[in-house]
Amino acid sequence: MEHLSGPVLLSGFLLSSIVYSVVFVVVDSLFRRFAPSFYERLKLKDEVRALNPILLAMVRIAIGVTTTLPSCVQAARTTPWGVDQPLNTAGQVCVVSQLAVWSNELFPVRMYSQELFIHHILCLFSAANIILSPPMHQIKPLYMYYASMDVRVDVLRLFWFYNALDILSYWKRLLHSGTRV
């Protein structure tokens, strides 16, 4: 296993932030091109509270399915259970891709939901705690959590299947009641 490399994680984080910005622009232009009436209706209704959450969900799905999910599955498969496990290469991609998404969503999320903004900040701090102190925490559950994150909740939210979510998502929605699209 490889040891945690600060410069590699930092450069990966910066590169992931650039990729996030490019993916956001691409998703925005594709949405505007292939669903112009729906796009304009959401934009006229409320760009911050109606359009941005849908765009953010689509960007999360795009990055989650292409980068976070495969790298987290590979990292979870190759990392043994136990504490003091360093990040392997797939683990670095997994963690950096998820942290880049959370950090890049901070400003847009702050505009429509203070609760979700605080949730993102706390998630960033908890992930940093787990990564920076491997002798105290297991890293494998973090990989599994990140792998399943965007696929379930964001896909269902994007297609407005609020009632199809399980009880954990119900409590999450209850805690973040101001974040409904």
Residues 13-67 have pLDDT tens digits of: 888 889 889 999 999 999 999 989 988 888 888 777 778 888 888 888 888 888 8
Rounded to 10 deg, the angle between the 6-34 and 52-63 helix axes is 120
pLDDT of residue 179: 45
The residues pairing with 138 across neighbouring beta strands, listed in sequence order, are 83
**Can you read off the two tokens belonging to residue 156?**
């269902």
The answer for residues whose C-beta is within 8 angstroms of residue 67's C-beta and 6 or more apart is 93, 97
Q: Hey, where are the domains in the chain?
A: 6-179
* pTM metric for this prediction: 0.73
Q: How many helices (H) and strands (E) would you count in the chain?
A: 9, 0
Residue 151 pLDDT exceeds 70: no
Alpha helices in 35-88 (DSSP H): 36-46, 52-63, 69-78
